Structure formats: structure tokens, C-alpha cells
Amino acid sequence: MFAAYAARISPDRPLDGLVLGERPAPAERPGWVTVDVRAASLNHHDLWSLRGVGLSEAQLPMILGCDAAGVDQDGNEVVVHSVIGQSGHGVGPDEPRSILTERYQGTFAEQVTVPAWNVLRKPKELSFEEAACLPTAWLTAYRMLFTNAGVRPGDSVLVQGAGGGVATAAIVLGKAAGLRVYATSRDEAKRRRAVELGALDAFEPGARLPHRVDAVIETVGAATWSHSVKSLRPGGTLVISGATSGDRPAHAELTRIFFLELKVVGSTMGSKDELEDLLAFCSATGVRPVIDEVLPLDRAREGFAKVEAGDLFGKVVLTV
């Protein structure tokens, strides 16, 4: 079957290790389900895999891709939850959790196989392309906002780095949930787009906000960390799920964190229950993922290059 896979690890030039070509179709295994992929979306995780983060040379070749929507063996339209081993179903109770492509072949292919527990029904209201955006970036944003930040309608939230998949999702979900959302971006066009999607206002990184916020959604890391901490009200919560600009900020702001009793919460992906809630939320409210571009799988390299350059607003989706 045709697939986009990592054939080599290249920390500095990740796309050098990306190959588009034929790979073996997934073998049948008890308790697992094979899904015919209709759409899959790109994440920064896929670039990190090509750099060797969470993926070793010994595991290659590895089909990339965490997210997918497609059709199962019984003809059902489904969405794949990409956290494998979280419950022990299909992989053994003692296996630690992992994300697709860390141990198991991913979704950038004509077919993918996962434990039956990891397959959810796709709401008919969502297209395959829309549903394929949800299991990683949108699920991460959902968990950051509603589980780990614990915000409620009327609360204020700062989203750093508008344009990225998680940040874009947080803006749209926050607006739909009645939050007062602010955003930042270095790019003026992305700031305008953030406002169009529901942010009250969007600022350059480091700019003073109209007031301190209840929570900050942080995926940028070192470049915005100090601003994130300084933007919180006393007792506020900073939720971090990524560090695309680096994980060692020059100013950790420890004094401010302890003196104002701020909370710093790490967040990774989300649970199957949260993905079910997210699917239902989108179905009921009309909220839809923001898609930057849809490309056929044989043009995956263009999508990877776009993600690497940061030249996007929303998700890049690959169709099969």
C-alpha cells in the first residue's frame, strides 16, 4: 500500500528522511481493527519523529501520522484515537501508553490498524477531513482548556502562537464555550485571522494585555514563557503542551510563580472519553476544525514543508 514514512532520522533536515512509496499492508491481529484511511492530518509530532524525537533508527521504517478518519471493516465511518495502550485494551495491561508512530505504524497510508478500543464512531455531521483534525491537536486543546485549565464561561484566556493547530483549536473552542479569548502571533495576517475566529483581540508576542487572564494556553515554549507567566492573574493557571521554540526559557519567572500562587500544568493529548466529548461538542454546536489546506497523500512532502516553515493557519490534511 502507498504510504508516507520515515526511512531515516535527520535532526537538522527532517524532510530528508521522509519517503513516499510502498509499504506492507497491516497484518491482522486479534482484538485489532484495520481502518481504510480516508483522511489524516499533519502534526508537529510528525516532524519531531523525523528528527528522532520519540523514534529511533531501530524502529525504522515507520509510517508517520497520528490522526485518521476512515471506514472500518464493517463499513462504519470511524475516527482513530491515537493514544495506544492507555487502557491496556489490545496491547496488554502492563504496556505504557504511546502515540501512534512511537511504537506502531501510523495513519499516512491507505490503511492503519489499531486496537478495537481505539476506534470511535464518526458523527455524520463531520466530514472525513474535519474529523481527522480532532484526535491530536484539537483533543490537546480541549483537554488543556476544559480539564487542566478548568476555565468556565466568562473566564479569560490567552492563547500563544495563533496559527498552530493546538492554538487555533483553543481559540475556536474557547469562543464556542463562552470564554473571553486573546491571542498572540508575530504575523499580522494570523492576528487578524484569530480575531475572525473569535478572539476578542490579538497582539504581538510580549504585548501588554488589557487585563490579566485566568489561564494561558502555551505551546510555543521559551519564546513566550515569560509573557505567559506575567499575563496571569494571581492564582491563574498556565497550561503547557509543547515547546516549539525550545524548552529552556531565559527567564523562568519563579518568583512571580510562587508569590502570586500561579499554577503550571503540563498537558499531553487527551483520553478517549475526552475525544468522544469533543466529537459530540463539534457535532452539537457546529464548531468545525480550521483547515489550512487539503492535499492528496502523494503530495505529503508539500504539507510537511508547510508545517516545518510555520506557513499555515490551522491544519494540513492528507486524503487517501
User: What was the pLDDT predicted at 86?
Assistant: 74
| The predicted structure's pLDDT at residue 74 | 95
Task: Please enumerate in sequence order all residues whose Cβ is within 8 A of that of 53, keeping only pairs 6 or more positions apart, or say none.
Answer: none
How does pLDDT run across 117-158, given as a tens digit for each residue? 999 999 999 999 999 999 999 999 999 999 999 999 999 999
Q: How far is CA 90 from the centre of its chain?
A: 24
- At residue 149, the pLDDT reads 97
For the record, the C-alpha cell of 206 comes out as: 510580549
Return the pLDDT at 13. Answer: 96
Query: Residue 16: helix, strand or coil by DSSP?
Result: helix
Write down the pLDDT at residue 246.
87
Unique residue bearing C-alpha cell 508539500: 302
Q: How far apart are CA 199 and CA 196, in angstroms?
A: 7
Task: Set out the domains of the chain in order of their start, with CATH numbers.
Answer: 2-133+289-319 (3.90.180.10), 137-266 (3.40.50.720)
Q: How far is CA 106 from the centre of its chain?
A: 15
Report residues of the chain scoring pLDDT below 50. none
CA pair distance 60, 67, nearest whole angstrom: 19
Instruction: Record the cell numbers describing residue 17, joined without a space.
Output: 528522511
**The one-letter amino acid at 293:** E
Sign of dihedral through CA atoms 156, 157, 158, 159?
Answer: negative
pLDDT value for 310: 86
Rounded to 5°, the CA angle 165-170-172 comes to: 95
pLDDT at 243: 87
Residue 185: what pLDDT?
Answer: 95
CA atoms of 100 and 64, how far apart (whole Å): 8
Q: Phi and psi for 166 in degrees, rounded to 5? A: -70, -45
* pLDDT (0 to 100) of residue 285: 92
Q: Which residues pair with 70 in a beta bridge?
A: 37, 78
- Confidence at residue 94, expressed as pLDDT on a 0 to 100 scale: 78
What pLDDT is recorded for position 96?
84
Per-residue three-class SS string for 156-224: EEEECCECEHHHHHHHHHHHHCCCEEEEECCCHHHHHHHHHCCCCEEECCCCCCCCCEEEEEECCCCCC
pTM, two decimals, is 0.93
